[in-house]
Amino acid sequence: MRKAELTGLFSLFLTVLSVCVANRDLRVVVEWKEMEFSFPTEADRSQAIKDGRYVRGNSVPIDVDVHYFGNSLSTRRRIFVTIPRFSTGIPISFGTVTNLPGEGGPQIKAYPAYSWHSSNGQDCNGITSAFRVAIDECERLWIIDTGRIGDVQSCIPQLLAFDLRNDTLIHRYRFPQSQYGTGVSLFATPIVDVRSSSQGCRKTMVYIADIDYHGLVVYDYEENTSWRIENKLMYPNPDWGTFTIAGQSFDLMDGLVGLALTPQSSGRERYLYFHAMAGEVENRVLLSLVDNRTIWIKSSNARPRNFVTIGGRGTQSAVMAIDSRENMFFGLMQDIAVASWNINTPYKRSNFKIVAQNSETLQFISGLKIKRTKVNTEELWAISNRFQKGSTGTRNSQEINYRILECSTEELLAGGC
C-alpha cells in the first residue's frame, strides 16, 4: 500500500475516532447564560431588586434532582435546582425549572413557595441557603439548608423533608451546636438511604458532608438524632488546592464533598465512599461502623484506621453516585469528563471508563445523581456551572454558563447517548 493511501486511511481513522469521542456526551436538558427567577408578582421582583435581594449575575446553580410522578404510561417529571447563597443578591435558593422564558434561560420558581426564601435568613423557619438535595424512593425531598449567607451564619443548619405528593413540609431537624461550627461549617451533600419503605419509610439514614469544617454528620430519621464523625481523610490536601479547568486556574481548599453508598442489593457488607474536593484520592469506610452511634458520641475521631484510601484519580472530583449494578459515576475536573468505575475492581485510572467528555458542556460538574425511572431504568443527571469562570472573574453573561444534562446509564456504559 502506498504512503499516500496509508496517510489517507490514518486521517480517516482519526476522523472516525474524533466523531466517536465527540458523541460520548450527555444530553443537554436545560441551559442558562444567567439564572432567571419567577416571582409571584412584578412588584415582588421590583422590591427584591430595590432591596438588593436580587442582583443579576450573583446566582450560581450547584445541584440538580428529578422527581418522576404519574404512572409508567403517563410519566411526568419536575426538575429541581439549588442556588446556594454564597453571597447576597440571590432571591431564591431552591426551586423548580419552569417553561417560562427569561433573558438568560428558563425561570426558576421558588419551592415550595417564594415566602420560604424571601426573608433572606431573617426567618429561620424558611429556607436560608439550600446547598444540595436528595429525592428518595418514598417521594420525599430532602434539603440541606446551610443557614449561611456568605460567611454569615444567619440560622442554624437544618435538614428539611417535603412530601412531593402534596409539596408539604413533613419533617424538620435542626442540628445541635456541638455538631457544627458557627460561620465555619458548610453542610453540603445529603445522601439518603431508605432501609425500609414500610411504616412511613421511618427507617432512613441521611449522611451529610461538612465541606469547610471537615467532617461527616449522620442523621437517623427514625430516632431523630444525629452524630458527627471526623477523620483526617476528610480534610483538603494543599497539593490539590489549585484547580485548572479549560485553561483557567483558581484555588479552592474544600474538604469532604463527595459521598456515595454501595447499593443494598449487593447482599454484601456495605461501604460509604468519600473524598475531599481538594484531593485526588478516593476513600471508604464500613457503613455499619458509621451507623454505630454509640462509637461516635464518645469521640468523633474514633476508629481512625477504619477509614482507608483505595486509590487515586490524578485529578480532583466533586460529587459521585453509584448505580444498582455497582458502577460509580463521577466527574473528572481536568479531563472535563464523566467517568465510571466498577467498585469490584481496583481504584485506578486503567479501570476507569470515560463515559462522557465535552470540554464545553461538562466544565465543573457540581451535582450528579443516579435516578430510577417509572419504567425501572436508571439515568444519570448532572449539572455543570463553569465554576472557574466565577472564581477568576471571567464569566460572560452572553455565553452559556450553566447546564443540566442527562443520559441513561445503559447508554453511557455502552458508548454514549
CA 248 to chain centre: 22
pLDDT digits (tens, 9 = 90+) for 388-403: 999 999 999 999 999 9
Query: Does the pLDDT value for residue 308 go beyond 50?
Result: yes
On whether residue 354 sits in a domain, the answer given is: yes
On whether residue 264 sits in a domain, the answer given is: yes
Number of domains the chain is built from: 1
On whether residue 1 sits in a domain, the answer given is: no
Supply the pLDDT for residue 360: 97
Instruction: Quote the domain boundaries for residue 229.
Output: 27-414
pLDDT classification of 230: cutoffs 50, 70, 90: very high
On whether residue 368 sits in a domain, the answer given is: yes
Which H or E run contains 6? Answer: helix 3-23
On whether residue 16 sits in a domain, the answer given is: no
Average pLDDT over residues 349-366: 97
On whether residue 5 sits in a domain, the answer given is: no
pLDDT classification of 71: cutoffs 50, 70, 90: confident
On whether residue 17 sits in a domain, the answer given is: no
Q: What is the CATH number of the domain that holds 146?
A: 2.120.10.30
Average pLDDT over residues 197-212: 92
H runs (alpha helix) in 159-244: none
Average pLDDT over residues 165-170: 98
Supply the pLDDT for residue 123: 97
Cell of 293: 452511634
Query: How does DSSP classify residue 350?
Result: G
Taking the alpha carbons at both ends of the chain, their separation in whole angstroms is 37
pLDDT classification of 198: cutoffs 50, 70, 90: confident
3-state class percentages of the chain: helix first, strand second, coil last, to nearest 5: 20, 40, 45
Query: Does the pLDDT value for residue 47 go beyond 80?
Result: yes
Note whether 277 and 211 are within 8 A (CB): yes
Average pLDDT over residues 187-213: 94
pTM assigned to the model: 0.93
Supply the pLDDT for residue 112: 98
pLDDT digits (tens, 9 = 90+) for 11-35: 333 333 333 344 478 999 999 999 9
Note whether 127 and 141 are within 8 A (CB): no
Query: Does the pLDDT value for residue 1 go beyond 60?
Result: no
Residue of 75 and 21 predicted with greater confidence: 75
Of 241, 240, 218, the C-alpha closest to 289 is: 218
On whether residue 50 sits in a domain, the answer given is: yes
Average pLDDT over residues 363-371: 98
Query: Does the pLDDT value for residue 195 go beyond 80?
Result: yes
Supply the pLDDT for residue 17: 35
